[in-house]
Amino acid sequence: MNNVVYEAEYTPQVIEDYRDNPFIEALPPIVSSATEAVKMLSVKPPYDESERELDTYYRLHCTMRLSRYFQPLYTHLDIEQRISRSIRQGYVNRNPMSPAYIERIRKCNEAAKNKTFDKTDFRSVRSTAMGFTMIGMSGVGKTTAVERVLSHYPQCITHTNYKDNPFYIKQVVWMKLDCPYDGSIKGLCLSFFNELDRILDTNYSDIFIASRYTVDTMLIKMSHLASTHGLGLLVIDEIQHLSQAKSGGSEKMLNFFVTLVNTIGVPVVLIGTSKALPILQSEFRQARRGSGQGDLIWEHLKNDESWEIMLSTMWKYQWTKEKSPLTDEIKNVLYEETQGIIDLAVKLYAISQLKAICDGTEKITADIIKESAAESLRLVKPMIAALRSGNPKEIIKYEDIRPINIEEHMSKYIGKISMPQVSVNQNTLEEQAILKLVDLGINAKEAQVYIKRVIQSKKEGSDVNTIVQRALKMLYGAETVETDSIPNYADNDLRKAAENDSYEFLKSTGAIVGDKDEW
C-alpha cells in the first residue's frame, strides 16, 4: 500500500459545523494550543555533548544535522491555523453524505464527459473554501513551514464504511505542486495528474498525455478529479513563475484557481516571492472578491524576540571542541550577515563550525562567522546589502536567493584540515640520514637500522648531521642506547648490534668483510 494512504478513523467533532462529515471526522484532531503546535512542528535532531570529543571527520558528519533543524515561530503557528481552517471549512459544504454533494459529483461527471464546464450549474451551492496567499522572499521559510504543517495530515484517506453504511472513496486531503518555470498551464495540469497518480496509484497522466487533450479539457478533468476525490487543499508553490506565462496564460491559470475555490469548493494556497504581487493584485485578488483568509506577507525576521528564540534553540548544536556561549556580539553578527533570513542563518552557523573544526580553531567566534560569511555568502551579498539598506526598490531586485549548499563548503574546508607535521618531518630526516650513511659506504639496510635507533632514542639534537654521527658511533660501538628501550631481537637480527660489540657482531653475521685495519 502507498505510504501516503491511511485507513479512515473517525473522531467526534467539538464544532457543530464539522459533525457528521466523514471528510472532516477522518482528519487528525485540531491543534488546540500554541504549545501543542510548537511541539508538533518542531524538528530537533539528536545531540549529545560527548560528540564534541569525537575525531574531526565524525564531527563534520554531525554538523549536517543542522539541515534538519526546525524551530517554529509565531508565523509558523499562524500558518498551521490557516491550513487547519482552510481544509475543514472547505469540507463544510462538501459533506459526502449530503444530497448536495452527490448532485455536485454528478454535474462534475457530466462536465468531464461533455468537456464543458458551466459555472451556473454550481451557483446553488455556496462555497465555504478559504484559501490564502503567502508572499515572501526566498529563504524565509515559506515552503518549509507549509510542508511541516502538511506532513501532519495524511495525504490520502481510504473510506469503506461510515456509521455502518458502505462508503467507498479515496479522499485526497492535500496536494502540493510547483508552478512550472515557464508558467505553462499544460505543465501544471500534467504535474497535477502525476501527483494524483503517485498518491492514488492510478494512471491518469498516461491517459491524458496519450489522448492529447487540450488545456481547457485538462482543466475540466482536474476539476472533476478534485471533486471526485474530495481534494481538501491545493497548494501551488513558486507562483511567481506565472510572470513568465505567455499571452494570457497567467490569467487563465488564476481563473482556474478561482473556479476551484468558488465553484468546486477546493481551497487554494498560493506561495511565491514578491515578483508575483503584480499578477495576484491585478487578476487574482479581485476575482476572489476578498474571499479567503487574506494574504500573508512574510518578511525576514527582525532582530527581536523571534530571532532570539531561533538562535537560542539552535545554539546547543555545537560540535567544536570548545563550547562557545551565545553572546550579544554573535547574535548581532549573525543578523548582520544574514539579515534575519532563517535558511541563511542556519547554514552560516553550520559553515562556521565546519571552518572552526577544519582549521583547528575549534571555537565559534564573531570573527569566524564573519570570515565564513565572506567566503560562503558571496553570491547573496547584493541582496543582503539591499535588505540592510531597507530600500524597497533595491530589495525587489533580489527576491530570489541562490540556495547555499553546505556540502560544497565542507569539501573546501576539509582540504584545509590541519595535519600533524611531526611524522612527515621525521620521515624526511630518516631518509636524508640513511642516504648520507649509504654515501659513506654503509649497507642501506644496516643504515636504516641505526638511523631508526637514533630517532627512536628521542635525545636532543635532531638535525641530519647529528643523527648520522650518532648512528656511526652506534655502528662502531662507541655509543649505546638505554637498555630499557631496546626490544628483544632475534640472534641474527642486525639491530642486535647495539647490544654487543658492533664490529664482532656485524662480522659474524656477514655484514662486514675484512678487518678494521683494512678499512
| pLDDT bucket at 171, cuts 50 / 70 / 90 | very high
Query: What are 286's three cell numbers?
Result: 479581485
**Read out DSSP for 254-316?**
HHHHHHIIIII---EEEEE-GGGHHHIIIIIHHHHTT-SS-EEEEPPPPTTHHHHHHHHHHTT
Dist CA 464 CA 462 (whole Å): 6
* Between 394 and 344, residue with greater pLDDT: 344
**Last residue of one domain, picked from the residues 387, 414, 441:** 414
Residues 149 and 238 in one domain: yes
Residues 281 and 380 in one domain: no
- Where do runs of H (alpha helix) occur along 398-501? 406-414, 422-439, 444-457, 464-475
According to DSSP, the residues that pair with 158 across neighbouring strands are: 7, 170
Q: How far is CA 467 from CA 187, 419, 470, 486, in A?
A: 76, 25, 5, 18
pLDDT at 463: 76
Give residue 469's region: left, alpha or beta (phi > 0; psi -120 to 50): alpha
The answer as to whether 513 is a domain residue is yes
The answer as to whether 64 is a domain residue is no
The answer as to whether 359 is a domain residue is yes
Any idea what DSSP says for residue 402?
Answer: P
| pLDDT bucket at 236, cuts 50 / 70 / 90 | very high
Q: Cβ(351)–Cβ(406) under 8 Å?
A: yes
The answer as to whether 255 is a domain residue is yes
Per residue in 87-113, pLDDT (tens digit) is 999 999 889 988 877 777 777 677 666
Dist CA 130 CA 267 (whole Å): 5
How many residues are recorded in the chain? 519
Q: How far is CA 424 from CA 329, 427, 430, 431, in A?
A: 40, 5, 10, 11
The answer as to whether 388 is a domain residue is yes
The answer as to whether 60 is a domain residue is no
Residues 453 and 473 in one domain: yes
Residues 478 and 373 in one domain: no
According to DSSP, the residues that pair with 365 across neighbouring strands are: none
User: What's the predicted TM-score (pTM) here?
Assistant: 0.72
Question: Of 199, 186, 255, 203, nearest to 229 (Cα)?
Answer: 199
pLDDT at 435: 76
Per residue in 47-82, pLDDT (tens digit) is 999 999 998 889 999 999 998 899 898 899 999 999
* Between 209 and 378, residue with greater pLDDT: 378
Residues 395 and 472 in one domain: no
Residues 14 and 112 in one domain: yes
* Between 147 and 283, residue with greater pLDDT: 147
The answer as to whether 305 is a domain residue is no
Domain count of the chain?
3
Question: Of 49, 38, 57, nearest to 410 (Cα)?
Answer: 57
* Between 319 and 135, residue with greater pLDDT: 319
The answer as to whether 426 is a domain residue is yes
Residues 320 and 201 in one domain: no
| Rg of the chain taking only CA atoms, in angstroms | 36
Tell me which amino acid residue 331 is: K
Query: What are 409's three cell numbers?
Result: 563548503
Residues 203 and 99 in one domain: yes
Dist CA 355 CA 411 (whole Å): 11
Task: Read off the CATH number of the domain in which 292 is found.
Answer: 3.40.50.300
- Where do runs of H (alpha helix) occur along 301-361? 305-314, 328-338, 342-358
User: Which residue is associated with the grid cell 469548493?
Assistant: 265
**Last residue of one domain, picked from the residues 260, 275, 298:** 298
Q: What is the mean pLDDT of residues 436-441?
A: 74
pLDDT at 510: 52
Instruction: Report the alpha-carbon angle 265-266-270, nearest 5.
Output: 135
pLDDT at 207: 79
Dist CA 441 CA 366 (whole Å): 60
Average pLDDT, the chain: 79
Task: Give residue 356's domain range.
Answer: 310-414
Question: Of 438, 474, 444, nearest to 459 (Cα)?
Answer: 474
| pLDDT bucket at 500, cuts 50 / 70 / 90 | very low
Query: What are 208's three cell numbers?
Result: 491524458
**Last residue of one domain, picked from the residues 236, 268, 298:** 298
Residues 100 and 203 in one domain: yes
Question: Of 263, 18, 288, nearest to 124 (Cα)?
Answer: 263
pLDDT at 419: 44
- SS3 of residue 415 by DSSP: coil
Residues 406 and 488 in one domain: no
Do the strands 5-7 and 175-178 form a parallel or antiparallel pair, or are they unpaired? unpaired
Q: Cβ(325)–Cβ(121) under 8 Å?
A: no
pLDDT at 154: 95
pLDDT at 110: 72
Dist CA 21 CA 244 (whole Å): 41
Dist CA 25 CA 438 (whole Å): 90
Q: What is the mean pLDDT of residues 514-518?
A: 53
Dist CA 270 CA 282 (whole Å): 15
Q: Is the pLDDT of residue 156 over 60?
A: yes
Percent of the chain topping pLDDT 90: 35
User: Which residue is associated with the grid cell 474530495?
Assistant: 230
Residues 191 and 286 in one domain: yes
**Read out DSSP for 439-454?**
HTT--HHHHHHHHHHH
Q: How far is CA 434 from CA 63, 186, 450, 502, in A?
A: 45, 76, 9, 18
Residues 273 and 352 in one domain: no
Q: Residue 28 belongs to what H/E stretch?
A: none
Do the strands 156-162 and 5-7 form a parallel or antiparallel pair, or are they unpaired? parallel
pLDDT at 496: 47
